[in-house]
Amino acid sequence: MNVERAVALATIVAVVSGCALERAAPPPGVEEPDPPVIVEQASPVLAADVNLRAILAFYRKSRGMSRAELIAERKALEGSDGRPLDELRLAMLLGQERSDLVRALGLLDAIARSDNPQALALQPLARLLSDQYAERLKLETQSERLGVNIRDAEKRAAAATAQARELQEKIDALAEIERNLPGRPAPPVPTGGTNR
C-alpha cells in the first residue's frame, strides 16, 4: 500500500512540476520580445562532406570508364581552371593509369600545401591518396628492380648451364679418346732369379 501511495505522489509531483515549466504570460502592457532569428549558414563541414561525396562518386564512375573515356576526362580536367577539386580528380585519373603516378603525386602535394579554402577541405583525402600513390610508386620501383635482378640471374644461369654443357662435352670427348687408346702392355713379370 505504501508503494502505491509513493507512486501516486511521484506522479502528482511530476505533473505539477511540468506545469511550472510553462512560461507565464507577460503582465499586461509589457510586450514579449521577439524570438531570436536563427539564420542557417552553409557549414564548412557540410560543404566538405558534399565535396567528398562528389569525389567518391567520381572515383566510382571513373573505375568503370574505358581507356578512351579516361583520356577524354583527363583532357577535360587538364583544361580546367586549376580548382583544387578538379586537380584532385585529375590526380585520381592519373593514378589509375599508373604511368603518371609522379605527376599525380605533384598535384596531390600541391593540394596538401595549399591554403585555398577549397583545398583545405580536400587536404586529408589528398594526403591519403598521396601516401597510397607514393607506396605504389615505391612498390613498382622495387618490382622493376626485382625484375631486372631476375633477368640477370636467368642470364647468368643460362651462361652457367652452357658452360657446364661445354665442359661435359669435353669430358665425354676425353673419355672417348681414352677408350680408343690401345691397351698398355702389361709390366714384365719378374722371373724367379735373384740378383745379388
* pLDDT value for 178: 87
Ramachandran assignment for 114, one of left (phi > 0), alpha (psi -120 to 50 degrees), beta (any other): beta
How far is the C-alpha of 165 from the C-alpha of 179, rounded, in Å?
A: 21
pLDDT given for residue 149 in this prediction: 95
For 88-91, the CB contacts below 8 A with 24+ separation are 88/55, 88/122, 88/125, 88/126, 88/129, 89/55, 89/58, 91/126, 91/129, 91/133
Cα distances (angstroms) measured from residue 46 to each of 41, 43, 49, 57, 174: 10, 5, 5, 16, 88
Query: pLDDT at position 121, please?
Result: 87
Place of cell 612498390: 139
Q: How far is CA 148 from CA 66, 117, 143, 153, 160, in A?
A: 31, 46, 9, 9, 18
Residues near 109 by Cβ (< 8 Å), separated by ≥ 6? Answer: 126, 130
- pLDDT attached to residue 42: 47
Question: Block means of pLDDT (10 residues each) for the chain, length 196 residues?
Answer: 64 58 58 54 54 86 89 87 89 83 92 89 92 93 94 95 95 91 77 63
pLDDT at 164: 95
What integer pLDDT is reported at residue 47 of this predicted model?
Answer: 55
User: Rounded to whole angstroms, how far apart are CA atoms 89 and 107?
Assistant: 10
What does the buried/exposed string (b/e) look like for 118-140 if buried means 16 or more CB atoms within 10 Å of the residue's CB?
A: bbebbbebbeebbeebeeebeee
